[in-house]
Amino acid sequence: MRETIRALARELGADDVGFAAAGAYRSPRSPGLETILPGAQTLVVLAYRELSSCESPNPQIAMAGRLEVMEFARSCNYRLARHLESACGARAVTVPPSYPLEMSVQTKGAVGDVSLRHAAVAAGLGAFGRHNLVIHPRLGTRVVFTAVLTDLALAGDRPVDDTLCTGCNRCVEACPGNALVQEGKTDLMACIRNSQPYGIGAAISFWGRYGAADPKDRKAMVRDPLFWRLYQAGSIGFQYFCFRCMAVCPACRGRA
């Protein structure tokens, strides 16, 4: 059954597929899988190759590339979960590549309900690099993951034993927020301030200033490019404008 599911996922468009037993998955910050699907047995993790969009100096084009991967991945996720329920008689829930996330002061919108990085490592789809992203043996750093959580019991894949990171520190040096200075940890707020400049922090700051401004100044504020960018971000969700750690990684291109 595993190979049938793997073949279907690849037919749907995933570049690679791995399996992890629920007990093999461990994330330091995300909630337990039982809180998402009681009786969960297996994570089916799908990998998708990121395009060269992340290299573009045009931030809109770079972000559009990420959105396109996400939209494609969501479709594959749903169709695979649908197959598990209809053809295998299992229960299945999809785990998206990004939002929606729990937005709170505690999580700061940076903690997924399932850590897809840790799920990918548990499913044998790669190993962590110095940038704290997962490096896939064939796809390199430019890879996006989704998952389907199911109560179908399937054997897990072997973890990757090889050290895929070269230790070159290019990601550390290229990070505009110095978010990777401490090895093994990403300073999330330093990263988010640079990668999501029009996120919730910027929105809270803008509306705080707007509320305190004189009526005559408010008209100028809503004509400012910042407001227009915040408006767009509010319409489409998180916008990432920094892909430097991914773009400079020697393992970034992988082997298609």
Residue 51 has pLDDT above 50, yes or no: yes
- Smallest Cα–Cα separation from 202: which of 178, 176, 232, 172? 232
Do residues 217 and 157 share a domain?
A: no
Give the Cβ contact number of residue 203 at 10 Å. Answer: 16
User: What is the rounded (10 degree) CA torsion for 243, 111, 232, 236?
Assistant: 100
Do residues 231 and 126 share a domain?
A: no
Residue 202 lies in a domain: yes
Residue 142 lies in a domain: yes
Do residues 154 and 202 share a domain?
A: no
Do residues 23 and 121 share a domain?
A: yes
Contacts of 10 (CB under 8 A, 6+ apart): 16, 17
32 against 79, higher pLDDT: 79
**Residue 251's pLDDT is what?**
85
Which residue range forms the structural domain that includes residue 216? 197-236
Give tens-digit pLDDT for 172-200. Answer: 999 999 999 999 999 988 998 888 888 88
Give the Cβ contact number of residue 111 at 10 Å. Answer: 17
Residue 81 lies in a domain: yes
Q: How far apart are CA 213 and CA 21, in angstroms?
A: 55
Give tens-digit pLDDT for 63-84. Answer: 899 999 999 999 999 999 999 9
Sheet holding 92-95, edge to edge: 16-21, 42-49, 143-150, 92-95
Does residue 159 contact residue 124 with C-beta atoms inside 8 Å?
yes
Do residues 148 and 54 share a domain?
A: yes
Query: What is the domain count for the chain?
Result: 2
